[in-house]
Amino acid sequence: MVETWFAILCFTLTAYAVMDGWNIGCGIVQFLVTRNAAERRLVISAIGPLWTWHEVWLVAAGGVLFVAFPGVIGVALSGFYLAVFVLLWCVLGRGLSLEFGGHIDDPMWRTFWDVAFAVCNLLIAILLGAALGNLIRGLPIGPSGKFSMPLFTHFRTTGEVGILDWYSVSVAVFTLVCLAAHGASYIAWRTEGVVRERSLSVARSLWPAVFILLLAITFATRVVRPELFDEMLARPLAWVMVLLTFGGFSAIVAGLKQRNDVLTFAGGCGFMAGLLAAAAVSVFPVMLHSTFGAEHSLTAHAGSGGGTGMGYAIFWWPIAVLLSVGYGVVVFRQFRARVRLAP
């Protein structure tokens, strides 16, 4: 049962990263692919119909942690107190930007909210990347089983680490560039005219940078957590996820070469999903790795809730997923046409 719920948690987090990832990326690159307020409204229109649905997957991940892994969420939330609140403020700021930006037809009003939208998405990408870097690198969990983290300490990856060090910063930079490329690919798929052409140009520039940074991050991860690669080699499911990552990479290259927007965007989704899933398979059963020693790490089995609650919840999970996916399909079908500038 623990393995099943860990897989569900990874699914929800991956779904959020991929789907809300293109929204975040759109916000990051919007000032690179637009030149005026009308074009920025075009970008907002491209992500508008489903942006709230994408955040449902983040809420679902929180629900899974609460039901299946209360020990993990209890330790993690208290330790990441500062980072979680900064992230929540950025998510709220993005929502306010989307909802309020079009209410008043005034250049200053709209420019303010457009800038706020870009800044909030930029910070969200950095914070999510830093969080991923922290989870891979490890957390300062000692004999007490708890931890607290300042923004930074000595910038090393062992001992009493902070939220930011050379590894978590590098993962944050990779995440920022990857989501920006993903967002540019999405805009190119969903828009027409000059905005699409500029988005294609940005995507062509960013995706090669993503692949170069991936090589650097892979080497850095080998230095920080060498055991992850041993686990990856020993688990066939991880091989499948690595193949998905390379398949996504190949689709991106082919899509950019053929100017096939759908293929490029689908390749980006596969690339991100495969990368995250391969990492998840490799770290299991450890959910919170300790930088003080493996004996202090918190595993999925130790952090699970147990009891009958996980069994009851597994019954409702497929129903909730079907309802959520059904909603997304219906809404997307209503707004599946490319958006264009008003004549």
Q: Domain 2-309 adopts which CATH fold? A: Formate dehydrogenase/DMSO reductase fold (1.20.1630)
Is residue 123 predicted with pLDDT exceeding 90?
yes
What pLDDT score was predicted for residue 343? Answer: 58
Overall average pLDDT of the 291-299 stretch: 85
Is residue 39 predicted with pLDDT exceeding 90?
no
Is residue 308 predicted with pLDDT exceeding 80?
no
Percentage of the residues of the chain whose pLDDT score is greater than 70: 98
What pLDDT score was predicted for residue 167? Answer: 94
Overall average pLDDT of the 156-185 stretch: 91
CB-CB contact of 279 with 207 (8 Å): no
Overall average pLDDT of the 131-136 stretch: 91
DSSP E strands: which ranges in the chain?
286-288, 298-299
pLDDT (tens digit per residue) in 42-59? 888 888 777 777 888 888
What pLDDT score was predicted for residue 177? Answer: 96
CB-CB contact of 129 with 24 (8 Å): no
Q: pTM for the full model?
A: 0.92
CB-CB contact of 171 with 130 (8 Å): yes
Q: How many C-beta atoms surround the C-beta of residue 131 within 10 A?
A: 20
Q: DSSP of 34-81, one letter per residue?
A: -SSHHHHHHHHHHHGGGHHHHHHHHHHHHHHHHHH-HHHHHHHHHHTH
What pLDDT score was predicted for residue 104? Answer: 82
Q: Which of 287, 286, 305, 298 is nearest to 142 (CA)?
A: 298
At residue 249, the 3 state secondary structure works out as helix
Structure tokens at 312: 């009851």
What pLDDT score was predicted for residue 180? Answer: 96
What pLDDT score was predicted for residue 6? Answer: 92
What pLDDT score was predicted for residue 217? Answer: 94
Mean pLDDT score of the chain: 88
Q: State residue 310 phi and psi, 5-degree precision.
A: -65, -35
Is residue 283 predicted with pLDDT exceeding 80?
yes
Is residue 298 predicted with pLDDT exceeding 90?
no
The model's confidence at residue 270, banded by pLDDT at 50, 70 and 90, is very high
On the 0-12 / 13-18 / 19+ scale of CB atoms within 10 A, 95 is middle
For residues 248 and 162, which has the higher predicted lDDT (pLDDT)? 248
Is residue 307 predicted with pLDDT exceeding 70?
no
Cα(15)–Cα(28) distance, integer angstroms: 20
CA 277 and chain centroid, separation? 12
The model's confidence at residue 79, banded by pLDDT at 50, 70 and 90, is confident
Half-sphere exposure of 95 (CA within 13 A, CB side): 10
Overall average pLDDT of the 143-162 stretch: 81
Q: What is the maximum alpha-carbon separation in the chain?
A: 66
The model's confidence at residue 124, banded by pLDDT at 50, 70 and 90, is very high
The model's confidence at residue 260, banded by pLDDT at 50, 70 and 90, is very high
CB-CB contact of 207 with 252 (8 Å): yes
Is residue 129 predicted with pLDDT exceeding 90?
yes
